[in-house]
Structure 1
Amino acid sequence: MPRILAFSGSIRRDSWNRRLVRLAADACRAAGAETTLIDLADYPLPLYNGDDEARDGLPDNALRLKALFKAHDALLIASPEYNGSVPPLLKNTLDWVSREWQGESGLLPYRNKVAAMLAASPGQYGGMRMLPHLRQILNTLGVLVLPGQFSLAHAASGFDEENGALKAPARLHELVLQLVKTADALAEE
């Protein structure tokens, strides 16, 4: 059973991406994956600064996140788009997790990982301008990013207000199933 770490690049209480990643995490569980859904609000980190790192080492929350990343086979990330790119919260989190620690490569938490990317936006692009930036960051860290991705434009009308589900979940479920199958195949190697 593959282990998937799911989180949103937004900590806004009513974020569309927090809603989306919760639904995707549930779909992962339904597809047979052990899925851990975390909220980055529970892991506050200072903005990365090499001088602070040299003086103080890694923050406890960076170490906690590193351990979570290493304990999972796959990443499921839903993120908003900020000015056509990755939001600072997500970039800062990925940067802290990638820092070397006590002689251990900063790339170890990303090694042999597969990722699926999701985005939701109230605008017409649905986060599509951010996804290539996130793909590039994850690829640079050594993560195999699935070629498919999920983007939800006009997110305000994409969710059923009565039950919180996506009105058209087929593409999301297809991507989640591909993530579970790929993570399972890679974990067996």
Structure 2
Amino acid sequence: MKISIIIASNNKNLALAKQIKKIAMDMGNETQIIDLVAEDLPLYTPANQEKLGIPSKVKQLNDTITHSEGMIFVAPEYNGGIPPSLTSAIAWLSVSSENWRGCFNGKPAAIATHSGGGGQYVLLSMRNQLSYIGMNVVGRTILTNGGKPFNPESAQEVIKQLVSWKTHTV
């Protein structure tokens, strides 16, 4: 399966994404990390869209995600919600083409976080938003924080669910 791992912050979430990527690759999947912080997309606003048009980085991101068969979103909890980098990227993608839903609609997604707090709120927020835009979010999640270390076996099970979703819907 061709999996894009989309991260919405660096540091511990980037480290978590790299651990997930290694497990996914060891399981025979083609994976890539898309670092939304490194992409440095402008904040989405209608005024920015009018002024900038659709930035070439957004068009490239649309193409990359459209050709992904599944996604894993890795984001920390920001005040009980989704980080601005992820929300803004989704907003840009939603105006990036006539068929922007091709990025997301019907594709399996998994969600993960390393958060300074509990992390449950960002997982719930991501599940709601990704489901709303048409993704099929698998039941299991990857959650790490100061009191809960990374569990490779659990991550492997999440990836199995992600991959099995594709095989059941083809």
TM-score (norm 2): 0.91
Between the aligned partners of 1:183 and 1:20, the Cα distance in structure 2 is 23
Between the aligned partners of 1:131 and 1:177, the Cα distance in structure 2 is 19
Between the aligned partners of 1:105 and 1:94, the Cα distance in structure 2 is 14
Q: Does residue 34 in structure 1 map to residue 30 in structure 2?
A: yes
Q: Is the 8 A contact 1:113 1:143 kept in 2?
A: yes
1:100 Cα shift? 4.4
| Runs of 4+ that moved beyond 3 A | none
> How many residues are aligned here?
170
Query: Residues 1-189 of structure 1 correspond to what in structure 2 (within 5 A)?
Result: 2-10=1-9, 12=10, 15-101=11-97, 104-123=98-117, 125=118, 127-154=119-146, 158=149, 166=150, 168-186=151-169, 189=170
Secondary structure, in 3 states, of the residue corresponding to 2:156? helix
Structure 2: where are the runs of 5+ without partners? none
Q: Give the aligned residue type for 1:8.
A: I
1:59 Cα shift? 0.8
Structure 1: where are the runs of 5+ without partners? 159-165
Q: Is the 8 A contact 2:6 2:72 kept in 1?
A: yes
CA RMSD of aligned residues (A): 1.7
1:32 Cα shift? 1.6
Between the aligned partners of 2:86 and 2:112, the Cα distance in structure 1 is 13
Listed one character per residue, the Cα deviations across residues 71-107 of structure 1 (whole Å, up to 9, x for unaligned) are 1010111110000110111111111112142xx2321
Q: Give the aligned residue type for 1:28.
A: A
Match of 1:163 in 2: none
Secondary structure, in 3 states, of the residue corresponding to 2:120? coil
Between the aligned partners of 1:32 and 1:148, the Cα distance in structure 2 is 20
Q: Give the aligned residue type for 1:177.
A: K
> 1:149/1:87 Cα in 2 relative to 1: closer, same or farther (>3 Å)?
same
Between the aligned partners of 2:19 and 2:52, the Cα distance in structure 1 is 38
Q: Give the aligned residue type for 1:169.
A: P
Listed one character per residue, the Cα deviations across residues 143-185 of structure 1 (whole Å, up to 9, x for unaligned) are 1111111111216x73xxxxxxx4x322111111221222344
Q: Give the aligned residue type for 2:102.
A: L
The alignment-based identity, stated in percent, is: 26
Between the aligned partners of 2:35 and 2:12, the Cα distance in structure 1 is 14
Secondary structure, in 3 states, of the residue corresponding to 2:121? coil
TM-score (norm 1): 0.83
Between the aligned partners of 1:39 and 1:83, the Cα distance in structure 2 is 21
